[in-house]
Structure 1
Amino acid sequence: MAGSRLPQQLFLQGVAAAFLFAFASLYTQIPGLYGAEGVLPARRTLRPRGQGRWRQLWEAPTLLWEAPLLGLDTAQGLELLSLLGALLALGALLLRPLRHLLAFLLLWAAYRSACQVGQVFLYFQWDSLLLESGFLAVLVAPLWRPPHRKQAKAAWGLPHEDLPFWLVRWLFFRLMFASGVVKLTSRCPTWWGLTALTYHYETQCLPTPAAWYAHHLPLWLHRLSVVATFLIEVAVPPLFFAPIRRLRLAAFYSQVLLQMLIIITGNYNFFNLLTLVLSTALLDDAHLAGHSRRRRTPASCSKTLLDSLALMLELGVYGLLAYGTVCLFGLEVDWEKHSVESRTTFTFHQFSQWLKTVTLPTMWLGAASLAWELLTALWRWTQVRGCFPKLIAASELCIVGTTTVAMFIVSLVPYSYVEPESHSRLWTGAHRLFDTVGHLQLTSSYGLFRRMTGVGGRPEVVLEGSYDGRQWTEVEFMYKPGNMSRPPPIVTPHQPRLDWQMWFAALGPHTQSPWFTSLVHRLLQGKEPVIRLIQNEPARYPFHQHPPTYLRAQRYKYWFSQPGEQRRWWRRQWVEEFFPSVSLGDPTLDSLLWQFGLQDKSPPRARNSTNSLAQSLHWVREQLLPLDPPTLLWGLLAAVVVIKIFQALWGHRPARPSQLAPREEKPQLSPKKDSGSARKQATPSPQSSSPRSGASRRRK
């Protein structure tokens, strides 16, 4: 594989951007989610157990254990971590010196600390993906930078610099391959019937306006899109390790196409951005620089033969993919209807047998690719000149190589979850190593869109409040579907975590979502931080002047409106009561709070109003409070783009005449035979540059 310094820089910048959006989005929701008056106060998750300090930190890895030392409670410490994480991520995104190992280690530790107290609101796969990508960024980021790149490459050498970046490619493979496989192993009839996308656009958590238009595409195109999804997620990922560069680039652009379509039709916060960031592991410096790797020299016969063989192999791979897709999904062109018919021609048993056959070989494929990277790094080490530089390079290669191999072995355990027999046959040492570091979330299992929900209609929970128990008013959320005349919003890269959990709550009874009882309790108490999760402007909340006396929740089924219906994006039908009507002091409510352990047995400690750090956090919160979270994140994104443009323009500005090096002129020696006169004329003036002085001395 060609050099990957530019892709590594793109990867580090992309991870920094993902951390920026994740921290900034979380910061806006901390008081309502984790504050003392929030839905799930974070202080209840950190209870000292009488263990030693380091033992406690190892079992519950979070920096928030140290918040009391700063005079802060857990929620305030989480706010401080989020602010500092966002600022550090912004700096790493804009300034190359901050793309340092220690910077990404701090970002990973801060987000791991937040996930430790985040409870159900931070249990998403993209949070795990960000933690794993952030830890890989720690390994990819340099610990030190040589003063001059060319001198470093020639004298010191960096034989290990591509090894950690290979782990990014392996993570990208595991993410995409597992996401494609679980759709079929789940036995979901919509995936097997190729009809999943006829439901996906309207039943996903937070659709965009484009999802309405995608939903009304022809049925045959939806089915063909499912076939393309299986092709991109199951058949293409093994090409990530292909020795032919064009195959890897073709795999890269297919993944980019899939992620861009998801971004257009759904609000998935920083997840798709992070997936695109992982895809940079398939690129190389030559492709990003915009020129071919081939040199303009006459090709030898052996080189021409190798190129011809590579081209034949490449065409053979494309032909095999096309033939397999046509046969496995029965693709036929209907010229009369101007459509492409498709159907699944294999059975679940056949797919299970195929998965048993390929799971372990894909692990060996990853091991072989890693072995090639290790051999390449070892060969680069042999090119290092000098004993001391060679010794330093050897120590770095041993440390980085051992870490890379260990991370690969640990990742095999969650990857093997896609096939139970392969999981049981995996080396026991890998299981022991994974059990040792599993609580740090260095690696995780993935599998997106396992089953398609909402086949009979999108389930949606609608809160209703009342003062007298007879006239009920709906409580409308900012982002999730509610008002049938309001278009779906665009909130990416913000993730409204309460709205997301409302989507999951609608899939089952309210007892499966204990936090919902706490939400009802806080709204009956009229807690402003929780109200701001529902409406950022309290005036839009129907009970902003006085909390409702009664609250209840109804379950509806929502569908996208038909093209003929004007001024309506949704249509709905009532299904059943989701949560009974309750009020403060109601035995039903108190019983549920006690059952789920949501009653505060001890009141929160009084905040120290004289703490300058707490006052500073409160002041920052007050300044940012009027801003809508998506507006805040879009503002950050716009600021980053503007600064990047200025950096690009400043970096490519033409040099001033005074900055140009003076043209070197050869000293003119006098034709006289007087050697002293000749030496005097050949002597450079004090204003001459050092290269000119060197040339004069060499001529002398």
Structure 2
Amino acid sequence: MGWFTESGYWLSRLVFLRALAAVYAIAFLAAALQFRALIGEHGMLPVPRFVRRVPFRRSPSLFHWAYSDRLFACVAWGGAVLSAAVVAGAADAMPLWASMLMWAAMWALYLSIVNVGQTWYGFGWESLLLETGTLAVFLGNAHTAPPVPVLWLLRWLLFRLEFGAGLIKMRGDRCWRDLTCLYYHHGTQPMPGPLSWFFHHLPRPLHRVETAANHVAQLGLPVLLFTPQPIASWAAGFMIVTQLWLVASGNFAWLNWLTIVIAFSVVDGVRAADVLGLPKPPVLAAPPGWYEGLVLAATAGVLALSWWPARNLVTRGQIMNYSFNRLHLVNAYGAFGSITRVRTEVAVEGTSDTGITPETVWREYGFKGKPGPLGRLPRQWAPYHLRLDWLMWFAALSPGYAEPWFLAFVARLLAGDRATLKLLRHNPFPGEPPAHVRARLYRYRFTSWRQLRDTGQWWERTLVREYLPPVDLDSAARLVQP
């Protein structure tokens, strides 16, 4: 079947697959370094308790057959090593069938983690990584030219990702329609980066240009992905530029980077190779029949499963970041349908005093990514994902987001749990755990240029209310859900 492959996309596939493997490696690394405190045997939301309540058919995962922290660590670190090997070119050095098995193994291992990750893994970019990883299984390696059906499925994925995000904005918060959302967003986004303060202080007319450019990138350009080259490449290129702008302005784990990776699959490899002065692709043999059959079967499956996300795009009740099946194969995407105008942060404090008085001295715990000390410039963490810091942002929006895990987090601080303390930047009680812990809700604002010059502080904050009254270990343990 001469139409089945297109050797001109050899460079696009090479960049796409190596970069996707790098994202996989980061995801597995984040899981390996954070799981014990979050979902380990003695974590805030333990996997053993979850798999006792939820059957395999609702959350397919190898951990339904057996779970231990050692096994989870083997899965996470094994996935990281496998991903790193693919980045180094191992999949291209193997036969086609072995390469496909490597990609399938990465997908299965990460699916096993996501499906028992509960609240900690409830982010749209988890499903995006799994769906993209599924398509990578069928994209082939250096032994065969890229299959055209899978290249089109990647465009369909990028279309849903961007167009869904654009529609949810236009159907949601009014500020997207009047171009004022970015008056607030750089200062209220979940985890600001080192340049977010400067983006926040851009002139308001430029904020309106930012918002309008976002609408063009998410509502106009996705349609051009299905046009002939070089138009599709130019559309993908502009999407990459807008995603790099988002990378510079905040920390969104690997969402922006993975979007960039998918967009690279659209770029015409022949033209790109000419620009870069690279050699022509080698002449490749026709793909084996069994491979063509698998690709066509996978394509038919994706098209069948696309009914639900396609219908979601055209309905007024559009939902975002939703998986219509437990394997996260074809999903609905979207982000920031509404924008927070006011930034609130939960500050967690402890004291060694056994009796609480007005003179009690409270010392604040420091988090790695979320705002805390007023003079500390936000750090760049993306594409690495700080799961606790992200959930703390949601907890500040509403205590309902904190119900499954926050009291368990406090109880582990009171117990001096080492795995939990490793998730933090600063532990004010290095000797022994505090006697009491409390939480307070503050309103945070970026300082002005003058305030920064006079005080050296990037933030100012005012107390809103008490978030959690002082608790000791016994009372916290009683309040934690069994």
Which residue of structure 2 lines up, in the alignment, with residue 342 of structure 1?
Answer: none
| Unaligned stretches of 5+ residues in structure 2 | 1-5, 277-283
Q: Which amino acid aligns with 1:166?
A: W
Within the candidate set 444, 459, 464, 2:331 is matched to 444
Is the Cα–Cα contact under 8 Å of residues 31 and 529 in structure 1 kept in the other structure? yes
Query: In structure 2, how many angstroms separate the alpha carbons of the residues matched to 1:523 and 1:407?
Result: 45
Query: In structure 2, how many angstroms separate the alpha carbons of the residues matched to 1:180 and 1:48?
Result: 37
Which residue of structure 2 lines up, in the alignment, with residue 39 of structure 1?
Answer: 44
Is the Cα–Cα contact under 8 Å of residues 526 and 546 in structure 1 kept in the other structure? yes
Is the Cα–Cα contact under 8 Å of residues 351 and 435 in structure 2 kept in the other structure? yes
Q: Which amino acid aligns with 2:245?
A: L
After TM superposition, the structure 1 = structure 2 runs for residues 139-178 of structure 1, keeping only pairs within 5 Å, are 139-142=138-141, 146=143, 161-178=147-164
Number of residues of Structure 1 aligned to a counterpart in Structure 2: 454
Query: In structure 2, how many angstroms separate the alpha carbons of the residues matched to 1:4 and 1:239?
Result: 18
Shift of 1:522: 1.1
Query: In structure 2, how many angstroms separate the alpha carbons of the residues matched to 1:461 and 1:139?
Result: 45
Within the candidate set 292, 296, 303, 1:397 is matched to 292
Which residue of structure 1 lines up, in the alignment, with residue 256 of structure 2?
Answer: 272
After TM superposition, the structure 1 = structure 2 runs for residues 139-538 of structure 1, keeping only pairs within 5 Å, are 139-142=138-141, 146=143, 161-186=147-172, 188-243=173-228, 245-290=229-274, 393=289, 396-420=291-315, 438-453=325-340, 455=341, 457-468=342-353, 469=356, 470-509=360-399, 512-535=402-425
Residues 482 and 510 (structure 1 numbering): CA distance in 2 closer, same or farther, change over 3 Å? farther
| Unaligned stretches of 5+ residues in structure 1 | 50-55, 68-72, 150-157, 293-383, 424-433, 600-700
Residues 396 and 35 (structure 1 numbering): CA distance in 2 closer, same or farther, change over 3 Å? closer
Residues 396 and 493 (structure 1 numbering): CA distance in 2 closer, same or farther, change over 3 Å? closer
Structure 2 residue 464 is the aligned partner of structure 1 residue 575: yes
DSSP 3-state at the match of 1:486: coil
> What's the % identity of the aligned pairs?
33
Query: In structure 1, how many angstroms separate the alpha carbons of the residues matched to 2:446 and 2:83?
Result: 38
Shift of 1:402: 2.9
- Alpha-carbon deviations, 1:403-453, whole Å to 9, x = none? 202202202312321332799xxxxxxxxxx97xx1111121101121111
Structure 2 residue 433 is the aligned partner of structure 1 residue 544: no
Shift of 1:233: 0.6
After TM superposition, the structure 1 = structure 2 runs for residues 500-649 of structure 1, keeping only pairs within 5 Å, are 500-509=390-399, 512-535=402-425, 540-565=426-451, 566=453, 567-586=456-475, 589=476, 592-593=479-480, 598-599=481-482
Query: In structure 2, how many angstroms separate the alpha carbons of the residues matched to 1:222 and 1:286?
Result: 37
Q: Give the number of the structure whose alpha-carbon radius of gyration is greater.
A: 1
Query: In structure 2, how many angstroms separate the alpha carbons of the residues matched to 1:132 and 1:213?
Result: 35
Q: Which amino acid aligns with 1:556?
A: Y
DSSP 3-state at the match of 1:548: coil
Is the Cα–Cα contact under 8 Å of residues 37 and 527 in structure 1 kept in the other structure? no
Query: In structure 2, how many angstroms separate the alpha carbons of the residues matched to 1:221 and 1:511?
Result: 34
Give runs of ≥4 in structure 1 deviating > 6 Å. none
Which residue of structure 2 lines up, in the alignment, with residue 97 of structure 1?
Answer: 93
Is the Cα–Cα contact under 8 Å of residues 510 and 516 in structure 1 kept in the other structure? no
Is the Cα–Cα contact under 8 Å of residues 252 and 383 in structure 2 kept in the other structure? yes
Q: Which amino acid aligns with 1:110?
A: L
Q: Which amino acid aligns with 2:246?
A: I
Q: Which amino acid aligns with 2:12?
A: P
DSSP 3-state at the match of 2:244: helix
DSSP 3-state at the match of 1:28: helix
Which residue of structure 1 lines up, in the alignment, with residue 78 of structure 2?
Answer: 84
DSSP 3-state at the match of 1:209: coil
Is the Cα–Cα contact under 8 Å of residues 16 and 90 in structure 1 kept in the other structure? yes
DSSP 3-state at the match of 2:346: strand
Q: Which amino acid aligns with 1:584?
A: L
Q: Provide the TM-score with structure 2 as the length reference.
A: 0.88
Query: In structure 2, how many angstroms separate the alpha carbons of the residues matched to 1:237 and 1:502?
Result: 33
DSSP 3-state at the match of 2:450: coil
Query: In structure 1, how many angstroms separate the alpha carbons of the residues matched to 2:60 and 2:378?
Result: 38
Residues 237 and 246 (structure 1 numbering): CA distance in 2 closer, same or farther, change over 3 Å? same
Q: Provide the TM-score with structure 1 as the length reference.
A: 0.62
Q: Which amino acid aligns with 1:97?
A: A
Query: In structure 1, how many angstroms separate the alpha carbons of the residues matched to 2:147 and 2:178?
Result: 46
Is the Cα–Cα contact under 8 Å of residues 12 and 141 in structure 1 kept in the other structure? no
RMSD: 2.5
Shift of 1:84: 0.5
Which residue of structure 2 lines up, in the alignment, with residue 113 of structure 1?
Answer: 112
- Alpha-carbon deviations, 1:15-73, whole Å to 9, x = none? 10110111112211122212233222222122289xxxxxx655432122454xxxxx4
Is the Cα–Cα contact under 8 Å of residues 395 and 401 in structure 2 kept in the other structure? no
Query: In structure 1, how many angstroms separate the alpha carbons of the residues matched to 2:56 and 2:130?
Result: 18
Is the Cα–Cα contact under 8 Å of residues 408 and 477 in structure 2 kept in the other structure? no
- Higher share in helix: 1
